Amino acid sequence: MTTSRRWTFITNHGLVLSYISHNSRHTAREIANAIGVTERTTHKIISDLELEGYIQRRKVGRRNIYRVDHALPLRHHTKQDILVSDLLEALTVKDSEDVIGASVS
One pLDDT digit (tens) per residue for the chain, 105 residues: 566 778 889 999 999 999 999 999 999 999 999 999 999 999 999 999 999 999 999 999 999 999 999 999 999 999 999 999 999 999 997 765 555 555 554
Secondary structure element (H or E) that encloses residue 57, with its range:
strand 55-60
Task: Identify the pLDDT of residue 97.
Answer: 57
CA distance between the termini of the chain: 45
Task: Identify the pLDDT of residue 1.
Answer: 57
Which residues lie closer than 8 Å to 79 by C-beta, 6 or more apart?
Answer: 73
Q: What is the pTM of this model?
A: 0.83
**Count H helices, E strands: the chain?**
5, 2
In 3D space, the residue among 27, 84, 22, 86 whose CA is nearest the CA of residue 52 turns out to be: 84
Task: Identify the pLDDT of residue 24.
Answer: 97
Task: Identify the pLDDT of residue 105.
Answer: 47
Domains defined for the chain, CATH in brackets? 12-104 (1.10.10.10)
Report pLDDT digits (tens) over 55-80: 999 999 999 999 999 999 999 999 99
Residues forming a β-bridge with 67: 56
C-alpha to C-alpha distances, 31 to 34, 85, 100, nearest whole angstrom: 5, 20, 30
